[in-house]
Amino acid sequence: MAKKRPLSTKGKIITALIYLLAIVMVALVIYLNAHPDAKDKVVPSILSETTTTAEFDKSDLPYNSEGSDKYAGIEPAYKFGDIQLQKEGDTTFAFVNGKKALDYTGVCTDGTDWWFVRDGAVDTYYNGIAGNELGDWYVKDGKVDFTFSGEFTCNSNTYTVDKGKAVKNA
């Protein structure tokens, strides 16, 4: 039978670090399960990568997953640059001058992407055409798709889309 060699000092340090990391990860999981609101404060860049739709009953939406143009040509309550998007829990809301803008519906930006906001909350369920004062836009899963060019038809209306910008065909 082979004799087991004792660990070197370096091996002991590496083993201790692995055990310590495992303990920290278990403690973090336990903490986050006990405090669900803490996940946005503890490690937001790792645990909060996506923007989710506000919780509401989707059965009464004015559109379906196939797409809508209900929000095309609208004049939003605020200008594009006046809106700031901020996460609160699992939902991203529109804010104007530090106050939640629940009366805002339209397209705005978080500084990186353009999102469809309905009644003050980012709606990642929406597919279709939505507008702001800069025009109408092709929205896929709540986000303006600047890669899409082509025709999009919904509600018997056809739009020509060029890099996300939508123009209704006569």
Per-residue pLDDT of the chain (170 residues; tens, 9 = 90+): 667 777 788 878 888 888 888 888 888 778 777 766 655 555 444 444 444 444 445 555 555 556 788 888 888 888 888 999 999 999 999 999 999 999 999 999 988 999 999 999 999 989 999 999 999 999 999 999 999 999 999 888 999 999 999 998 87
Distance CA 165, CA 130 (A): 10
Dihedral-angle region of residue 155 (phi above 0 means left; psi in -120 to 50 means alpha; beta otherwise): left
Residue 158 lies in a domain: yes
- pLDDT recorded at residue 62: 54
The single-letter code of the amino acid at 6 is P
81 and 28 together in one domain:
no
- pLDDT recorded at residue 2: 66
Please tell me the total number of residues recorded for the chain in this structure.
Answer: 170
Residue 1 lies in a domain: no
The CA dihedral of 10, 12, 13, 15, to the nearest 10 degrees, is: 120
29 and 66 together in one domain:
no
Residue 95 lies in a domain: yes
- pLDDT recorded at residue 106: 93
Residue 122 structure tokens: 């980012």
28 and 82 together in one domain:
no
Residue 145 lies in a domain: yes
Domain total of the chain: 2
Residue 150 near residue 161, CB atoms below 8 Å: yes
36 and 83 together in one domain:
no
Please give the distance of CA 86 from its chain centroid, rounded to a whole number: 10
Distance CA 85, CA 142 (A): 14
Nearest to 117 by CA among 135, 101, 133, 97: 101
Residue 130's domain comprises: 58-168
- pLDDT recorded at residue 9: 86
Residue 106 host element (H or E) = strand 106-109
Nearest to 166 by CA among 140, 144, 147, 138: 138
Name residue, tokens 């640059």: 81
Residue 27 host element (H or E) = helix 9-34
Distance CA 25, CA 7 (A): 25
34 and 65 together in one domain:
no
Dihedral-angle region of residue 111 (phi above 0 means left; psi in -120 to 50 means alpha; beta otherwise): left
17 and 78 together in one domain:
no
88 and 134 together in one domain:
yes
